[in-house]
């Protein structure tokens, strides 16, 4: 299995769901990781963003292009 790298930081849960659906529809392997930590009650989400998309490095540019397209409309 190919190593996954951080492809994109997501600002909120809504965009995370939209990106998950778009990447799944296009067959791009990915996982979405939230920065929420119950021990710190979401402190890291306020500082670093909601979470991140991790994917094989070969898809990084494509994922960013999809994100730009989704957020532009």
Domain that holds residue 33: 4-72
Evaluate if residue 49 carries a pLDDT over 90. no
What spatial distance separates the first Cα and last Cα of the chain, rounded to whole Å?
Answer: 34
Name the domain count of the chain: 1
**Cα–Cα dist 32/56, whole Å:** 13
Lowest mean pLDDT among 15-19, 38-42, 56-60: 38-42
Q: What is the pLDDT of residue 44?
A: 58
SS3 of 2, please? coil
């Amino acid at each position: 299995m190919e190593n996954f790298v951080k492809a994109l930081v997501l600002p909120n849960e809504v965009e995370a769901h939209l990106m998950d659906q778009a990447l799944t529809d296009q067959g791009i392997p990915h996982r979405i990781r939230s920065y929420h930590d119950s021990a710190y009650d979401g402190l890291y989400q306020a500082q670093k963003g909601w979470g991140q998309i991790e994917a094989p490095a070969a898809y990084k540019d494509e994922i960013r292009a999809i994100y730009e397209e989704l957020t532009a409309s």
